[in-house]
Chains A and B, each alone.
Chain A
Amino acid sequence: MTQPFLMQFARQCNTKNKFETDSEYFYDEEADMIRWKNDNENPLLIDSLQFFNGKGPKNPPSTKKCELESGEDQKDRRMWN
């Protein structure tokens, strides 16, 4: 089948398209935020990010544009199709 012209420029995204629920994070229903599974106290992930280059989460969920998040474009309409 003929591929669209732009497909020759397609690159694989750096991150998977689904969040891995068995990762080192969990959503805390009480806090309404994500926590980092830590041996000691499960801090909020946003409070742990600054430790990224050392003691913090190994693979924090990315908010970075270069990670090609699917969320960059708003897809309220077509994501439901």
Chain B
Amino acid sequence: MILILTNKWDISVDFVIKQLQSAGVNYLRLNTEDLPNLSSTFNFPNFEFWVKKKEKEIDLSKTVKVIWNRRPGLPFENVSNKKNGVNRFVDNQWFTWIESLQLIPNVTWINNPTANTIMECKPRQLFLADKMGFSIPKTIISNDILEINDFIIENKKCIVKALYSPLIKENEVDKFIFTNSVSQINGLEKESVQLSPSIFQQSINPKIDYRVTVVGDEILPVKIAVSNDFLEYPVDWRTIETGISYQLCHLPKGIEQLCKEYVRENGLLFGAIDLVEQDGIYYFLEINPNGEWGWLQYPNSIPIADSITRLLLHYEKG
């Protein structure tokens, strides 16, 4: 059986669910908002992990072959005052419950949560990419304004981005920090620079961006094609809402192989890698180990759901 951990409003997963249903495959979708409505018991010794959903009782410890760790969220996702102490307590109990799914023997995780977490670390990503033979931009990670300004002078054009998730959670509408160009930083900003380290990199521009989605042994490189209407190629293509298209393409064989190896050797089965190309050199920027792909599936018709379905079926059949 395939166990899918996600939330109700994860539309991307629906593309795969529909294919699994067509194939008549046994699967269980667990939406984390509903965890408090789930009946579950697991016991030791003689480990069993029972859940009851839709009148069906399933021993996950005996039936699950593959777990798709797609987009688990919080219980009480849509309940107001969810941050009160009691709800936080409940969240933590369920988080441990989800962690405990890792006790189920002989299961393939896509992706293993520990590997996901480890590979979220951007410095680690760069370190490993360099070690494995990718070209990477010259980089410093610093909160020292003097070091940063020296680096900017040395490299002339630089970009800055967040060391961890660039999302700032707010009550209603969140904020997001794209990659931005940066020039010499004014000494008056010393304190704000010092408050938290950031990633500063040599700017590679003009460039061609690629989003390379690796799904098991399959690879789906997508070229981010920007209209010629732009006088200068944008630092971060995500800021563009028109004049951009996404084209399934091939990369040089060596680069494709490197992308697959990077994902596999770091304990992942899925990974969304960002590359840029300039003058024939492909630079590794980062990997999103559980990166979103729905925006490529729809409206851009990149068949990632097909690849994920094949991967799930492969491991479900053992």
Residue numbers of A with Cβ under 8 A of B are: 2-7, 9-13, 15-19, 21, 27, 29, 32-34, 44-46, 49, 52, 60-80
Are B240 and A74 within 8 A (Cβ)? no
Closest chain B CB from A45 CB (angstroms): 6
Bound CA span A55–B45, Å:
57
Do residues B292 and A69 form an inter-chain contact, with CB atoms below 8 A? yes
Chain B, residues 107-122, CB within 8 Å of chain A (1/0): the string is: 0000001001100100
Q: Are B241 and A72 in contact (CB under 8 A)?
A: no
In the complex, A49 Cα to B301 Cα: how many Å? 12
Are A46 and B11 in touch, CB under 8 angstroms? yes
B265 within 8 A of A: no
Interface residues, chain B, with chain A CB atoms under 8 Å away: 8-12, 14-15, 17-18, 21, 29, 31, 54, 69, 71-74, 77-78, 91-92, 95, 113, 116-117, 120, 160-162, 165-170, 172-178, 180, 185, 189, 191-193, 195-196, 198, 238-241, 288-292, 294-295, 297-299
CB-defined A-B contacts under 8 Å, sample of 15: A2-B192, A4-B195, A4-B196, A5-B193, A6-B160, A9-B178, A13-B167, A17-B172, A17-B174, A21-B78, A33-B17, A61-B9, A65-B295, A70-B167, A73-B288
Which B residues are CB-close (under 8 A) to A10? 168, 175-177
Shortest C-beta distance, A51 to chain B (Å), equals 12
B residues in contact with A61, CB < 8 Å? 9, 11
Whether B192 lies near A4 (C-beta < 8 A) is: yes
Chain B: CB-nearest residue to A17: B174
Identify B174's interface contact among A3, A7, A13, A52, CB under 8 A.
A13
Shortest beta-carbon distance, B46 to chain A, in Å? Answer: 29
Q: What chain B residues lie within 8 Å of A65 (beta carbons)?
A: 238, 292, 295
Which of B73, B172, B290 is the one whose CB lies under 8 Å from A16?
A: B172
Name the A residues within 8 Å of B120 (CB-CB).
73-74, 77
Contacting residue for B92 out of A9, A69, A80, CB 8 A: A80
B176-A75 in contact (CB<8A): no
A-B pairs with lowest CB-CB distance, top 7: A63-B294, A74-B290, A19-B9, A64-B295, A10-B175, A27-B8, A33-B14
**B21: nearest residue on chain A (CB-CB)?**
A32
- Are A6 and B177 CB-contacts (below 8 A) given A34-B14, A64-B295? yes
Query: Complex: how many Å from CA A21 to CA B33?
Result: 12
Q: Assuming A9-B180, A79-B73, is B297 touching A17 (CB within 8 A)? A: no
CB distance B291 to A72 under 8 Å? yes
Q: Chain B's nearest CB lies how many Å from the CB of A67? A: 8
